[in-house]
Amino acid sequence: MVPPTALTCVFLTLILLPGVLAEPSDRVVDTHPAWAPLSPEESMKRLRLPPGFCVELVASEPLIREPVALTWDGNGRMYVVEMRGYMQDLEATGAKEPVGRISRLEDTNGDGKMDTHSAYLDGLIEPRAILAIDDGLLVGEPPDLWFCQDVGGDGVADIKRHVTDKFSLRDSNVEHKANSLTWGMDNWIHVSQHGRRYQVIEETIRHESVPSVGQWGLTRNDEGRFIFSTNSNPGMCLFVPPRYLSGAAHKDSRRTMTGAIHRNGGYDSVWPAMVTPDLQSGPGAARKSDGTLRHFTSACGQTIFRGDRLGEDMQGDYFICEPVGRLVRRSEVRHTESGHIELTNRFEKDLGEFITSTDGNFRPVNAHTGPDGCLYIVDMYRGVVQEKAFLTPYLREEILRAGYDKNVGRGRIYRVVRDGMKRGPRPKLLEATPKELAEYLGHPNGWWRDTAQSLLVTRQVQSVTPTLKKMALEHEDPLAQLHALWTLDGIGQLDRETILSLTRHHDSRIRIAAVRTMDPPGLYFKRLEEMLADSSPLVISQIVLTAGQSKEGTSRYLIAKCLAKHPKHAQVIKAVEAVAPRELVSEPASHVLALDKQGRSLFDRGRTIYVELCTACHGSNGQGIQAPNGALAPPLPGSPRLTQAPDVAVRILLHGFTGRIDGKDYEGLMAPFGATQSDEWVASVLTYTRREWGNQASTILPADVAKVREHFHDRQTPWTQTDLEEEPSE
Three-state helix/strand/coil letters over 19-82 = HHCCCCCCCCCECCCECCCCCHHHHHHCEECCCCEEEEEEEECCCCCCEEEEEECCCCCEEEEE
pTM as predicted: 0.84
> Comparing C-alpha atoms, which of 365, 353, 450 is closest to residue 414?
365
**Of the candidates 73, 120, 117, the residue with the CA atom closest to the CA atom of residue 100:** 120
Q: From residue 262, give the alpha-carbon distance in Å to each of 238, 265, 266, 537.
A: 12, 10, 11, 19
**Residue 93 CB-density burial (10 A; 0-12 exposed, 13-18 middle, 19+ buried):** exposed
Question: Which pLDDT score, from 0 to 100, does residue 573 have?
Answer: 87
What is the distance of C-alpha 672 from the center of its chain? 25
DSSP 697: P
| Host H or E run for residue 555 | helix 553-565
Angle (CA) 422-428-432 rounded to 5° is 135
**Residue from 252, 138, 245 nearest 199 by CA:** 138
Q: For the beta carbon of residue 92, count every other beta carbon within 10 angstroms.
A: 18
Choices 1.10.238.10, 3.90.1010.20, 3.90.550.10, 1.10.760.10: CATH for 590-726: 1.10.760.10
pLDDT in tens, 565-595: 998 898 998 898 888 644 332 333 344 446 7
CB 611 within 8 A of CB 689: no
CA 489/CA 679 separation, integer angstroms: 48
Q: pLDDT value at position 112?
A: 96
Q: What is the mean pLDDT of residues 260-273?
A: 95
Half-sphere exposure of 54 (CA within 13 A, CB side): 11
Does 191 have pLDDT greater than 90?
Answer: yes
Residue scoring higher pLDDT (674 or 335): 335
Helix, strand, coil percent content, the chain, rounded in steps of 5? 35, 20, 45
pLDDT beyond 70 at 668: no
Calculate Rg over the CA atoms of the chain.
26
Q: Which comes out higher in pLDDT, residue 336 or 623?
A: 336
The pLDDT value recorded for residue 594 is 62
Could you tell me which residues come within 8 angstroms of residue 620 by beta carbon, excluding any fewer than 6 positions away? 254, 255, 611
Residue that wins the pLDDT comparison between 556 and 227: 227
Which helix (H) or strand (E) segment holds residue 301: the answer is strand 300-304
323 phi and psi angles, rounded to 5 deg: -65, -30
- Count of residues in the chain: 730
CA geometry: angle 221, 222, 226, nearest 5 deg: 30
Query: Residues 284-307: what's their mean pLDDT?
Result: 96
Angle at 534 between CA 533 and CA 540, to 5 degrees: 100
At residue 580, the pLDDT reads 64
Calpha distance 511→533 (Å, rounded)? 13
Instruction: Name the average pLDDT for the chain.
Output: 89
Q: So what's the architecture of 4-418 in CATH?
A: 6 Propeller (2.120)
